[in-house]
């Protein structure tokens, strides 16, 4: 396996927001978007290379954006119906084919100070030759159930960071909890079996694995997956994404269902 390329993003705190708004009137603009994730459903003008979609997450005065390749995060100012980003930190994944141009398209849009309007659950951005229509992810993808859903690990959560790697994307650790609490899946190299005791948003895992050995990069991913699933965790679901955070060692996983 080629050398693993790792990229890290500082973890973002999620902030719940209340109302929804259609403009920049006093008391409504930033609060209307914060705590929400929007996914593009249509683009007119300059299209997203590779097809996207553009996904924007607003939390605690910051924006996280991805258009099918890397993820960029940074501060955002939404006053006056203009979206203005500050210095952005980005992951450094090499993306194949047309998606290699997605980062440039996204950067051009965000740095053009696009105008924005929010009507109900629909956000519209206009800038840099594109008009992008996005909808609240919960409207496009309602919350999936914890049990009976096949979850794929996309991100490893450390106490102070979110970590992704090409190895993680290649081995695709997977987890399914059956309605009767049985756990099945793969930690990256080995097969997982076990149980999950569910009490509200608290899930206590007891996991066993097979004993195969794989490449060191794969075994490192597996070690971190099993560390996150060791004992009591807090599980939260946002649309088609599951976050598991171990309450003992403060590691965790972000998972997604297809």
Q: Which of 119, 140, 161 is where one domain is finished?
A: 140
15, 135: one domain: yes
Q: What is the pLDDT of residue 80?
A: 87
72, 165: one domain: no
83, 200: one domain: no
117, 234: one domain: no
Q: Can you read off the two tokens belonging to residue 89?
A: 């930190």
Contact 116, 30 (CB under 8 A): no
180, 248: one domain: yes
CATH code assigned at 118: 2.40.128.270
- Collect contacts of 41-47 with beta carbons under 8 A, ≥24 apart: 41/133, 41/134, 41/135, 41/140, 42/132, 42/133, 43/130, 43/131, 43/132, 43/133, 44/130, 44/131, 45/129, 45/130, 45/131, 46/105, 46/128, 46/129, 46/130, 47/130
78, 100: one domain: yes
Q: What is the pLDDT of residue 4?
A: 39
Q: What is the pLDDT of residue 232?
A: 98
Contact 250, 231 (CB under 8 A): no
Q: What is the pLDDT of residue 141?
A: 85
Per the structure, the complete domain to which residue 78 belongs is given by 6-140
Give the pLDDT means over successive 10-residue stretches in the chain (258 positions). 42 34 45 92 96 95 93 93 94 84 96 95 96 94 95 93 87 97 98 98 98 96 98 94 97 94
Which string of b and e fits 97-112 if b means at least 16 CB within 10 Å? eebebbbebbbebbeb
Structural domain total, the chain: 2
250, 158: one domain: yes
Q: Which of 140, 172, 196 is where one domain is finished?
A: 140
132, 156: one domain: no
The phi-psi region of residue 22 (left if phi > 0; otherwise alpha if psi is between -120 and 50; otherwise beta) is: alpha
194, 249: one domain: yes
20, 63: one domain: yes
Q: What is the pLDDT of residue 3?
A: 40
* Bridge-based pairing state of the strands 62-66 and 55-59: antiparallel
86, 25: one domain: yes
Q: What is the pLDDT of residue 7?
A: 45
Q: What is the pLDDT of residue 29?
A: 60
Specify if 35 maps to a domain.
Answer: yes
226, 123: one domain: no
Q: What is the pLDDT of residue 236?
A: 95
Q: What is the pLDDT of residue 31?
A: 80
């Amino acid at each position: 396996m080629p050398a693993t390329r790792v990229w890290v993003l500082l973890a973002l705190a999620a902030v719940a927001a209340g109302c929804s708004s259609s403009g920049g009137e006093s008391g409504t603009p930033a609060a209307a978007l914060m705590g929400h994730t929007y996914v593009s459903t249509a683009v007119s003008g300059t299209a997203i290379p590779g097809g996207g979609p553009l996904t924007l997450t607003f939390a605690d005065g910051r924006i996280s954006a991805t258009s099918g390749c890397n993820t960029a995060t940074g501060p955002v100012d939404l006053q006056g119906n203009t979206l203005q980003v500050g210095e952005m930190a980005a992951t450094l994944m090499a993306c194949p084919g047309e998606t290699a141009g997605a980062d440039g398209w996204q950067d051009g849009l965000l740095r053009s100070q696009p105008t924005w309007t929010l009507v109900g659950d629909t956000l519209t951005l206009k800038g840099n030759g594109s008009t992008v229509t996005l909808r609240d992810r919960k409207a496009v993808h309602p919350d999936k159930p914890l049990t009976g859903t096949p979850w794929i690990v996309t991100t490893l959560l450390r106490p102070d960071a979110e970590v992704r790697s090409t190895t993680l994307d290649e081995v695709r650790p997977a987890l399914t909890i059956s309605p009767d609490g049985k756990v099945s899946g793969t930690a990256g190299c080995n097969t997982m079996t076990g149980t999950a005791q569910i009490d509200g948003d608290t899930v206590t895992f007891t996991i066993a694995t097979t004993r195969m050995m794989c490449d060191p990069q794969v075994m490192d991913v597996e070690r971190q997956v099993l560390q996150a699933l060791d004992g009591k965790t807090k599980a939260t679901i946002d649309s088609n994404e599951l976050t598991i955070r171990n309450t003992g060692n403060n590691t965790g996983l972000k998972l997604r269902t297809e």
